[in-house]
Amino acid sequence: MNLVSKPPNRGLTRIRLYLSYDGSYFSGWAYQPNLRTVQGEIQRAIKTALRLQEPVDVVVAGRTDAGVHARGQVIHFDAPIENDFDFTTFVYSLNGILDADVRVQVAEIAPDGFNARFSAIARRYSYSVMDGRVDPLRRHTAITHWRELDVEAMNIASSQLIGLHDFASFCKPTDFGSTIRTLQEFSWTRDGHVLRASLQADAFCHSMVRSLVGLVIAIGDKRKPIEFAREVLQRAERRADVVTMPSLGLTLEEVLYPADDELLARQEMTRAKRDISEVEG
């Protein structure tokens, strides 16, 4: 059995890392010159730990904006290592180089056909809101909303958005990429004054999670009726009445992948451009 996943003709090993980070003091995931980013810090740490001459290129499961947190981010990169490479020591080395607000949880050889972005079958996010009371211990991970929120109404509205749809009403417009997504889960729970949304989809376009949350919060505090959720979805265009919520309440919780023998097929499926004809209703 071949334990090392090597890209063809390169003599490199594909390594998979699972990361957690507090996004409060990062300018997002993606590398930007002269700014502190998660990608920049990770690439610097890998270069130092492996004593490489040049930084590696890392591929991430899902880019996060400035202020967004992650508990289950996944990346991969290719590097020259031996079969007896000590991954436990590698994790300790990386975390000794990195600041305390970003941590490598696991490092391992990636299965054949693995791609952190294109092999994923789903991403799961959470969004946290405090209604009517501020908990200073949650100030970096939950927003404050001063009106009381109706969780039952929010769950009814959220359920109307689940399924395969064109989510153009909730995505920042771009010149490329589809806004067709399958929203697999969108639900709310309350623990005292903290409400937590759980959202899962095959993929999310830019600002989609925070816009979905903004819409449902407007329903939860009675500014909009429950039927407003379906109305916004069906018009399939971005308008000013859909608010994008602040980034600090958002956390990437988990990235899901298929069985190892299905990773390459999943890549091909993800790369195929979707068509509007796929949308039901």
Strands in 44-109 per DSSP E: 59-60, 69-79, 102-109
Q: What would you report as the CA-atom Rg of the chain, rounded to the nearest whole angstrom?
A: 20
SS3 at position 184: strand
| 65 is an active site residue | yes
> How far apart are alpha carbons 154 and 109 in whole angstroms?
42
Phi, psi at 68, each rounded to 5°: -80, 140
- The angle, 0 to 180 degrees and rounded to 10, between the axes of the packed helices 208-220 and 228-235 is 150
Question: Which distant-in-sequence residues (6+ apart) come within 8 Å of 211 by Cβ?
Answer: 169, 170, 171, 242, 243, 244, 245
Residue 153 near residue 220 (C-beta atoms within 8 A): yes
> How far apart are alpha carbons 217 and 128 in whole angstroms?
11
Catalytic position from the list 22, 57, 65, 112: 65
Residue 258 near residue 119 (C-beta atoms within 8 A): yes
- In DSSP notation, 227-281 reads THHHHHHHH-S--TTSPPPPGGGEEEEEEE---GGGHHHHHHHHHSPP-GGG---
Residue 164 tokens, joined: 């395969």
Burial class for 184, CB neighbours closer than 10 Å (0-12, 13-18, 19+) = middle
- Please give the positions annotated as active site: 65
